[in-house]
Amino acid sequence: MSRLACLDDRDALALVAGTLAAERLPDALAHVETCVDCRELIEGLCAGDEPPPPPSGIDARVGSEHGPYAITALIAAGGMGRVYRATDRVRGREVALKIPRSRSPWLVRRFEREIGITARLGHPGVVPLHDSGTLGDGTPFYVMQLVEGISLERAIGQAVNREQRLALVGHLVAVATTMAFVHDRGIAHRDLKPHNVLVGAFGEVVILDWGLAKELDATASVRRVLRVEPVAAPLPPITGRTTRPGDVLGTPAFMAPEQARGEDVDQRADVYALGAMLEQLLVGFLPRKAADAALALAPAALVSVSKRALAPERDDRHAHAGEFASELRAAVATPAAPPPAPSPWRRILGQS
């Protein structure tokens, strides 16, 4: 584990349970001492509330009915919640219904924040929220439009060559345009990556999973009021509790350096993620693992956009997603340089 890497859900659970490998423990504790987000995650897992029931104890399950919604299938299960396919029997439509993985007060608070942010982001690139409420056992839920399609991550994996990957850049333009709207409303996503972008069967491009989103204006002021201090000692193991996944606080390959260091982030952290997604489209590798030779084969205008967005210092990046989107659209419209003409000597030698 790098000293700069935020904890994922498995590492956080292992740290709280006292089962994290000894060789990884010093780096994990050193990071938690400096990272506000990871402390929030650890403190949530260490909260003294009653042990939450396992996911199977929640009322939502395939075949159950909740008001007008009849759950028909599990679509996805992540660290923070589960998404089900459901039938809205009143309106005669298929929808997606999301619930938290448990009724832990900490997790419920995060889930309710996600509902509030999603409800305010009325944009074609954000799946619209249709309804919200609580199940019979008090578990919160919200209902979204059901969008059929595949993740951008899967689309990249299915591309067999550079031309097919470059054909996906238009989807990234749509993502950046949506994020320009989001940034204009003072919100950062904080976990942008191809896995969280859904490409619909009819060309829809929507951004999913707003569980880590934060209001930028509120973040710094809240931390000043709370005067969050580093933890002074290793966290003791917790026994007699049902451990459960927390929330992945960013994904390292797409995470801006300041976010990995646990500093306050702004919209430029999302710009970094957009640049990382563009680089993956250009070379087919995970971001920041691309050889210069691979980038040299990509269109120079697109490479320039990705390099600026991936600048280690946030002041050197695009100021927000709107600026990134404008530059990306211009780069897409720039004609690619023609391949170099073959040497006449190669033709003479029959090697052209």
**Distance from chain centroid for Cα 234:** 29
The one-letter amino acid code at 131 reads D
- Distance (Å, whole) CA 16 – CA 237: 6
Q: How many helices (H) and strands (E) does the chain have?
A: 14, 11
Residue 240: is it exposed, middle or buried by C-beta count within 10 angstroms (0-12/13-18/19+)?
Answer: exposed
- Strand-by-strand arrangement of the 197-200 sheet: 149-151, 197-200, 205-207
Q: Look up 184 and say whether it is catalytic.
A: no
Q: Which two tokens stand for residue 130?
A: 């249709």
Are the CB atoms for 172 and 163 separated by under 8 Å? Answer: no
- Number of Cβ within 10 Å of residue 328's Cβ equals 27
Residue with tokens 């904080």: 190
DSSP one-letter code for 101: S
Contact between 332 and 342 under an 8 Å Cβ cutoff? The reply is no
Catalytic pick from 8, 37, 88, 191?
Answer: 191
Contact between residue 274 and residue 282 where contact means Cβ atoms under 8 Å apart? no
Burial of 192 from C-beta contacts in 10 A (0-12 / 13-18 / 19+): buried
Beta strands 65-66 and 69-77 are antiparallel
The sign of the CA dihedral 173, 177, 183, 187 is negative
Per DSSP bridges, beta strands 81-88 and 93-100 are: antiparallel
CA distance 4 to 7: 9
From the CB of residue 52, how many other CB atoms can be counted at a distance below 10 Å? 21
Annotated active-site positions, please? 191
